Structure 1
């Protein structure tokens, strides 16, 4: 039985804890948070020993697997510390928040005997799987174009009640890094390798409140010749279902929230509906448990490497870094908060 530990005991950690509590091959032995009361509350619910120090947890508990659910700036330093100890790492997104962090992470992962994975759980949504299979089958003809829209709502309190959201040094970005990164990942997962991206970012509705963007748009050029368009904002009045549309020669596939539609002429056909209730917030989706299952299968003797390893898990971040650089973000001028306890 593998020993697992969760670092960071906020909202998303509850989803990881629930998934682990249902596994018979894993024992959650510890959890750490900079606020001891949160670690204690988490362990009271899911078991394990609470810690306030990540390094003390590592030295005392010696887990086999670490789940990183911390503020973004800590993902890379904690992942590297774990990988250097031969500890497997499953990190929440983003993999990294700067090009230098990304380079250091890839280097550590390639040198380590341990596996590294990123939580792009939407790849495991049943409707995404159905769309991927239909594209690969070629039944609708060649893929011609992709478009995606993320229109969500994040008010001032979402940022002011947090000590790290909306900051360059801790979050590393705004709607691209925190919310829409999942959609960019799916655009690449379903559409193939992206040769170039260009676009614009702006702080429209949260000026003076956050240091990062709340709205972004981009044009994507795929290696296959396909063109993609992308728009994301947190200025909408509600968390509308994400729309991702794949236009093929003979049909269009439309992923809208937890449903997959096929459009042909004037006909609309529902191909897939994910009925499973999300264990956390609805916009997190229902597939964290599926992703975690896949990660632990990869760790089993004879298992294949996890499908969202250090290469797959960092491509969306690279696209985002490119957009930020185009819009004048100077990483050399940002002092990232990477201090781990």
Structure 2
């Protein structure tokens, strides 16, 4: 089988995770380009792969039969890079968020469909074994009607985290603060697990401990799903350390949840067990990234090879972004945002 020719665009902090994944998936793909506006970063990444060329401008690789491009650049640039690549028949797997406005997310989806190119969005935490197990339980009906859900994120981001970047903690380049950067994964998991469209969203954002930023460092919201589930979410990066993320789904017959990578099930007080994520590999990077980038990326490569559907495509990747931008809008306007307004795009741009 011919290996996919892969390009890595953005060789910052998270690229160390990608480097490990590419080595594990060397039977499916070869990395032929490393791209970064800082050529030294691109060179450092490229040195790990035989024949990989380091470049500054991603457009240089578009004329060299690239099959898949991975985008791990600042948030605001995701849509522009993805659209140009897809128009050149290159499949794209981008880090979250896929864009920082719904209109740009929609443009990405439209180009993907028009060009027949694959578009995937990284939400690797869905692929955790415990999370997929919980999803199967919910979909089987064992919990009965879903009544409520919650997610709780309490992390720490100090001044140096933002000082080391020219885009983190900005509205125009990052698209927001703790919601769009840190809490987006837990929001995505909950909406996926609940499995229902949204009726309305009401939320509030504030900056309580990062006076040098204009974006939010704390947020809370209530999301009403069309199946009746009320989802309570809270996120802050004002805590003393990165505590384990907690989420819970409650149904008529019990509840299920996760504490970081530990999943638990409690049905009718009879069926109770815990399920830890098993991983034999030493994965570089932050522990809260988890160990499932490799699972999602392998899944994406197989969808390209077999021309099959992408599980977390643009439409799926847009759902968490939709919720986050609606929370921002609700807080700014101090009112509840209803689904018909959300579907129309609201003022998310």
TM-score where L is the length of structure 1? 0.92
User: 1:139 Cα shift?
Assistant: 2.2
SS of residue paired to 1:172:
coil
Partner of 1:282: 287
Partner of 1:305: 309
Q: Verify the 8 A CA contact 1:3 1:29 in the aligned structure 2.
A: yes
Matched, 1:138 2:141: yes
Q: 256-265 vs 95-104, which deviates more?
A: 256-265
Matched, 1:269 2:272: yes
Matched, 1:38 2:48: no
- Give, in whole Å, the separation in 2 of the partners of 1:264 and 1:139: 8
User: 1:280 Cα shift?
Assistant: 2.2
User: 1:62 Cα shift?
Assistant: 3.5
Matched, 1:211 2:211: no
Q: Deviations over 1:119-169 (max 9, x none)?
A: 000110011011011112222332211011011111111001111101112
Q: Verify the 8 A CA contact 2:125 2:292 in the aligned structure 1.
A: yes
Q: Verify the 8 A CA contact 1:18 1:46 in the aligned structure 2.
A: no
User: 1:318 Cα shift?
Assistant: 1.1
Q: Verify the 8 A CA contact 2:17 2:283 in the aligned structure 1.
A: no
Partner of 2:194: 191
Q: 277-286 vs 220-229, which deviates more?
A: 277-286
Instruction: Give the aligned CA root-mean-square deviation in angstroms.
Output: 2.1
Q: Verify the 8 A CA contact 1:246 1:252 in the aligned structure 2.
A: yes
Matches within 5 A, 1:191-340: 191-192=194-195, 193-207=197-211, 209-263=212-266, 269-276=272-279, 278-301=283-306, 303-328=307-332
- Give, in whole Å, the separation in 1 of the partners of 2:28 and 2:264: 37
- Give, in whole Å, the separation in 1 of the partners of 2:271 and 2:136: 19
Partner of 1:339: none
- Give, in whole Å, the separation in 2 of the partners of 1:57 and 1:109: 19
With over 3 angstroms needed to count, the CA separation of the structure-2 counterparts of 1:203 and 1:266, relative to structure 1, is: same
TM-score where L is the length of structure 2? 0.90
Q: Verify the 8 A CA contact 2:223 2:230 in the aligned structure 1.
A: yes
Partner of 2:161: 158
Q: Verify the 8 A CA contact 2:256 2:263 in the aligned structure 1.
A: yes
- Give, in whole Å, the separation in 1 of the partners of 2:139 and 2:267: 18
Instruction: Could you tell me which runs of 5 or more consecutive residues in structure 2 were left unpaired when the two chains were aligned.
Output: 334-344
Partner of 2:342: none
